[in-house]
Amino acid sequence: MGSVRTPSSAVNLASKGTVPNASKEALSAYDAVSSIPVRLISVDIQQALKLALDYNIYAYDAYFLQYAKQLSSPLITLDKRMKKIARDLNIEIVE
């Protein structure tokens, strides 16, 4: 059986300079993602759920539609159903 490494064991190995390549890549990816600026914006969950029910779509998809609508922002998608609903809601689509 192979050894199991937990996140804390990866950190311990890193401090000893013995991190396997996969762990080094994971740490590098984390560093890269951590540098991306993120702005948290509240969504009107009630409106998003109403969209989900009205269009029979997943709440997850409805959240993105509601964000775009709420912020008057374009929606980036290749999903045909999402594009159709976005058009119905007068949301600009970027493909």
Number of domains in the chain: 2
CA–CA gap between residue 86 and residue 93 (Å, rounded): 7
* Chain centroid to CA 20: 28
pLDDT of 6 reads 46
Is residue 30 located within the same domain as residue 70?
A: no
- Tell me, what DSSP letter sits at residue 36? S
Show the low-confidence residues of the chain (pLDDT under 70). 1-20
The pLDDT of residue 46 is 97
Separation CA 54–CA 66 (nearest Å): 13
Q: Are 50 and 32 within one domain?
A: no
Residue 86, pLDDT score: 97
Tell me the three state secondary structure of residue 94.
strand
CA distances from 54 to 37, 49, 70 (A): 33, 8, 17
- Domain membership of residue 2 as a residue range: 1-37
